Amino acid sequence: MASKTLVLYGEYELTMDEKNRLVLPAEVRRALEPERDGEAFFVVIGVNQWPWLYPERGYEELVSRLANEMSPGEDKLAFEQLRFSMADKVNWDKQGRLNVPPQSRRRTPLGREITMIGVKDHLELWNRPDWEIRREYLFSKHTELANKQREAEQKNQANRRNGEDQGKNDQN
């Protein structure tokens, strides 16, 4: 039976081979359930300009939540053109290797020495030295980031409560 939610986490040092393949860490492969997650990844260029890997079904679910419009606004159209034109669907082989698409390699500064990180619903590929710099920056901001996250969660809870209260008032 498939568990309810996939959570991707961790930090994995990988090396891209001469055929531009990465070995998907065994821990990640074990966490993936074909019935829940699919049997492939969608590779997209993330907002941080590094390749992001979404499990097939998770990506399809994200896409299904986007509103479809006959005439989307210019910003929405531009975002969708960028996001979907540069997406690739990749499968891993029996040895757990996946090929990093040529377009993703061309459009990002991705080298051979890579750190793969889990970020809740997706994986990110970083050049190892770039990730080390980013990780140190995040460590230096840890308390500040935690406080901002806590404040955002409290605001969301207050907004939900206000919405529930408004619904009760509308019923009265």
- For the chain, the structural domain boundaries read 11-128, 141-172
For position 37, what pLDDT does the model report? 96
Residue whose entry in the numeric block shows the structure tokens 């409290």: 154
For position 26, what pLDDT does the model report? 95
For position 23, what pLDDT does the model report? 96
**If one looks up domain 11-128 in CATH, what number appears?**
3.40.1550.20
How many angstroms separate the CA atoms of 160 and 154, rounded?
10
- Give the three-state DSSP class for 156: helix
- Backbone angles phi and psi of 121, in degrees to 5: -105, 0
Q: What pTM value is reported for the model?
A: 0.83
- What is the DSSP-derived secondary structure letter of residue 92? B
- What is the DSSP-derived secondary structure letter of residue 19? T
Amino acid at 68: N
For position 113, what pLDDT does the model report? 98
Mean pLDDT by 10 residues, the chain (172 residues): 82 97 96 95 95 96 80 82 90 95 93 97 97 96 91 88 69 59
Which alpha helices (H) appear in the chain, and where do they start and end?
26-31, 34-37, 56-65, 74-85, 102-107, 128-140, 142-171
For position 99, what pLDDT does the model report? 96
For position 34, what pLDDT does the model report? 93
For position 172, what pLDDT does the model report? 56
131: exposed, middle or buried (Cβ count in 10 Å: 0-12, 13-18, 19+):
buried
Residue whose entry in the numeric block shows the structure tokens 């989307």: 72
For position 162, what pLDDT does the model report? 82
